[in-house]
Amino acid sequence: MDTVKQVQKKITQRALWLSIIVGLVFIVMGYKSVGKGLILGTLFSVLNFIFMARSIGYKFGRSKRQIFSISIGSIIFRYILLAIPLIAAVKFEQFNLVAAIVGVFMIQMVILAEHLLIQIPILRGKQI
């Protein structure tokens, strides 16, 4: 399970750093709501991913019924978690809705970017 924790840590750190840097750039440029929305969405995307990863280990050594309940509970909880930044962005003007939506997908974007960018020959060369 250490590998899972390492992967989770690496992906979540990159997603958070990316959103903080991009968010700060927007805030400095005067688009405060965009920056805040992006960071808010990413924060909950990261929480969702951490919860998803943790729930894998939590299911070991339990009865079938317990695993079923944990799985259903985990899915419902994670969807509620992802709905929070979107509802906040709809309700409060200081968070941009589109930026919050982009933030909610930050984990997926980081996973894809990480694996697809190393296909670029220059970057692959650097990694070696």
Binding residues for another protein (CB under 8 A): 1-4, 7-8, 49, 52-53, 56, 75, 79, 82-83, 86-87, 90-91, 97, 101, 104-105, 107-108, 111-112, 115-116, 118-119
Q: How far is the CB of 96 from another protein (least distance, A)?
A: 13
- Terminal C-alpha separation, the chain: 27
For another protein, the closer of residues 30 and 121 by Cβ is: 121
Structure tokens at 124: 């692959």
For residue 29, CA distances in Å to 42, 79, 125 come to: 20, 32, 35
Output the furthest CA–CA distance in the chain (Å, rounded): 54
Q: How far is the CB of 46 from another protein (least distance, A)?
A: 11
For another protein, the closer of residues 24 and 62 by Cβ is: 62
Structure tokens at 24: 């700060």
